[in-house]
Structure 1
Amino acid sequence: MMWKRIGKILLVLLLLLAALVGGYAAYLLLTYDRIEDRQVVEVENTAQTEGVTARVGETYTAVTYNVGFGAYSDDYSFFMDGGKYARAMSEAAVRENIGGDIALLERDNPDLVLLQEVDRGSTRSYQVDEHELFRKAMGEYAVNHGVNYHSAYLFYPLTQPHGASLSGLSTFSRLEMTGALRRSLPVSTSLYKFIDLDRCYVVTRIPVDDGKELAVYNVHLSAYTEDESIVKAQIAMLSGDLEQDVAAGNYVVCGGDFNQDLLGDSPAVFGTDASAENWAKPFPKELLPKGISVAWDRLGQAEIESLAPSCRNADAPYEAGVSFVTMVDGFLLSDNVEILELETVDNGFLYSDHNPVRLRFTLREKEGGRG
């Protein structure tokens, strides 16, 4: 009799567990939706830069920086990379890291700032509106924010669920923004979409004094997919838009986190062991349109060898000379954008698992003069 009662209790418990798992699976499926493509992104602080056009021959500075949702201090490790944490260590840690990011940007005082993984209401970053922190600190810039992905509540790991995410791309400019558009990138349609989430890039338009436009692309490509067809489809789509801007005679500065090895063989450059952690595959440059190139490719070998890496693996706290590092951040540029200086800002991964990349550039006057 006792064993029969225990059996009934176990059966009820199993049925309850099955109902919970099934209900959660239904919740994920029913709440999943992709953000619409070609979504107009609102530009804020327009009065600050109204009438300030880009000028051919003028020198400008752009910085691209994945801020890692304010979690990645140098002692942080992330569960998706095999590390310890699913959330930032605390709300105070988020605010401290974002404050450090802001101080870095204020020191460089760039004309253009392209930020990725800026959370606005995520469990993992304790609901801190990071975009608002940057916007308030950088009040002299025009700014836009496009949502990269939003996700349902992820009940994993069970001891500290990652939770729901709302994260995006913030673009700041001291030059007038006449508009911004969000483009939805191809992503996996399998169950993997609940892990790798949505992806996009935001194109910001800035008028140039020769009648053309400076097209600023803020990009964050997929990170965890092993399906190379998805990666190639994303870059092919991006290349299609870049090609249209090149054909129109516009100037293109496309920066961000490409999650691909922009140097082609970063382990050889940085002397790190790629046998276990080389998740960053060589960027498929052959997919880029004529007139667009990876900015790092314009540097000489000595300049490449002197670079600091832009990204670390977050399977463990950062340890210089031990942690796997690579170069997934940088710029794609049109031929009419001349590099004056290009470097990684070596911050020792103090506030993020990425280091900023800084570009000083000028817009070339086209052959035959203006008009």
Structure 2
Amino acid sequence: MRGLKFIGAVLAFLLLSFVLFLVYSTFTDYKPAERIEVSKNDSAAVIDAKKQFTLLSWNIGYCGLGSDMDFFYDGGEKTRTTKERTLENMKKITQFLLSQDSVSFFLLQEIDTYAKRTYYINELDSFTKQFYNFYTFFVKNHDVKFVPVPIKSPMGRVVSGIATFTKFQPFLTERYAFSGQISYPKRIFMLDRCFYVHRYKLTNKKNLLVINTHNAAFEDSAIKLKHLEYLKNFLMDEYKKGNYILIGGDWNQGPCGFDKKTFSKNLPEEDFKLVPIEKNYLPEGWHWLYDKTTPTNRYLNKPYNKDTSPKILIDFFLLSPNIEAVSIKTNDLQFENSDHNPVIATIKLKK
């Protein structure tokens, strides 16, 4: 009888602890508004509309998902690499970015500012110090006091987001939250997906919108479709105003018309299911800009192996009909310091 009482007391304690943890996590959950005005500068310089612009988009995997890593969300087991490897990844990523002299816009995803998985290194601060000639803009998309999975080695505290480094000062930047939520309680531990809009004045009296996006990954297909529909409505409204619109980032989906099995025939889709964007998603004239010869992402079910690791293309650009593509190139870095490869595009504005 005493044994049963003891077991009952333990179970009651565990249940109460779980309930209290959920209450705490719910109370401290990051709940950003649908639209947040991040910065505003009415005296921002006007950009020459005749210029060509070069942009780089790269999900840097919080400098923790290099070639040595697998990841539990992708069917692996780990949540972080060593501190030494994290610092080495950050150093190599920084060196590559600084070597891209022609780039005017760096669109980066998964930058940690305070997280257990990156040993509480403020990566944004480190990058900002190196990019002292650039304007720096950052918004959070993941702020959780304690991520309780995986059970054996919880991810713990996470503050992370997306950052844009630009040579030009925007007159307005805005964070837009994607509509559609994951079911409770899972959503209080997952990313609060968003896209980050940077508005620039042009000499032709129009505006250029440069958008940094990081779309849904492990969420189900219905959530991904809601996010795309929300983004589409935003794009249509802005294009009707005569704006130029350029989007780059980690879409976590394949571009329209691209065979997802181009680089790997057998994709392990139990954890991350790759869904191509529908061909009729946008009206004629909108242009998906990607390098079809090189993968941009690898699966993290195992440490990287050049011959056997599944590889896909999910990082690319989208151009409004009034923008012309000049070039596109994915730099094949063999996923040494991130599970993504950087993608570089050059564009020019039509009259």
Match of 1:21 in 2: 18
Q: Bigger shift: 142-151 or 272-281?
A: 272-281
Give the drift of 1:212.
Answer: 1.0
Deviation by residue 1:173-222 (Cα, 9 ceiling, x = unmatched): 11221110000112324123135331100100112111111100100111
CA distance, structure 2, for counterparts of residue 266 and residue 311 of structure 1: 14
Match of 1:7 in 2: 4
Take 2:111 and 2:268, find their aligned partners in 1: how far apart are those partners? 31
Say whether residues 1:280 and 2:274 are aligned partners. yes
Are residues 1:214 and 2:208 paired? Answer: yes
Partner of 2:71: 78
Residues 176 and 206, structure 1, Cα contact 8 Å, conserved in 2: yes
Q: 5-14 vs 231-240, which deviates more?
A: 5-14
One-letter amino acid of the counterpart of residue 28, structure 1: S
Structure 1 position 340 matched with structure 2 position 326: yes
Classify 1:285/1:125 alpha carbon distance in 2 versus 1 (closer, same or farther; 3 Å). farther
Q: Distance in 2 between matches of 1:320 and 1:160?
A: 28
Calculate percent identity across the aligned residue pairs: 27
Partner Cα separation in structure 2 for residue 59 and residue 172 of structure 1:
17
CA RMSD of aligned residues (A): 2.1
Distance 1:245 1:340 in 2: 23
TM-aligned CA deviation for residue 290 of structure 1: 5.0
Give unmatched runs, 5+ long, in structure 2.
Answer: none
User: Partners of 1:35 and 1:116 in 2: how far apart?
Assistant: 18
Q: Distance in 1 between matches of 2:44 and 2:92?
A: 29
Aligned to 2:57, which of 61, 64, 67? 64
TM-score (norm 1): 0.88
- Which structure has the greater CA radius of gyration? 1
Measure, in 2, the Cα distance between the counterparts of 1:313 and 1:263. Answer: 21
Partner of 2:253: 260
Q: 1:263 to 1:289 in 2, by over 3 A?
A: closer
Greater shift after overlay, 272-281 or 124-133?
Answer: 272-281
For structure 1, the residue ranges without an aligned partner over 5 or more in a row are: 297-302, 366-371
Say if 1:36 and 1:18 are closer, same or farther in 2 by CA, change over 3 A: same
1:299-338 mapped onto 2 (5 Å cutoff): 304=292, 307-338=293-324
Q: Determine which of 218, 226, 232 is the counterpart of 1:224.
A: 218
- Residues 255-275 of structure 1 show CA distances to partners (whole Å, capped at 9, x for unaligned) of 001110115444442143136
Asked whether 1:99 is paired with 2:91, we answer yes
Shift of 1:312: 0.5
Calculate the TM-score normalised by the size of structure 2. 0.92
SS of the equivalent of 1:215 reads strand
> Matched residue pairs, number?
347
Q: Which residue of 2 aligns with 1:114?
A: 107
- Residues 66-122 of structure 1 deviation map (CA, whole Å, 9 limit, x = unaligned): 011111111111111111212x22333222212211111111221111001111112
Find the aligned partners of 1:105 and 1:263 in 2 and give their Cα distance.
Answer: 28
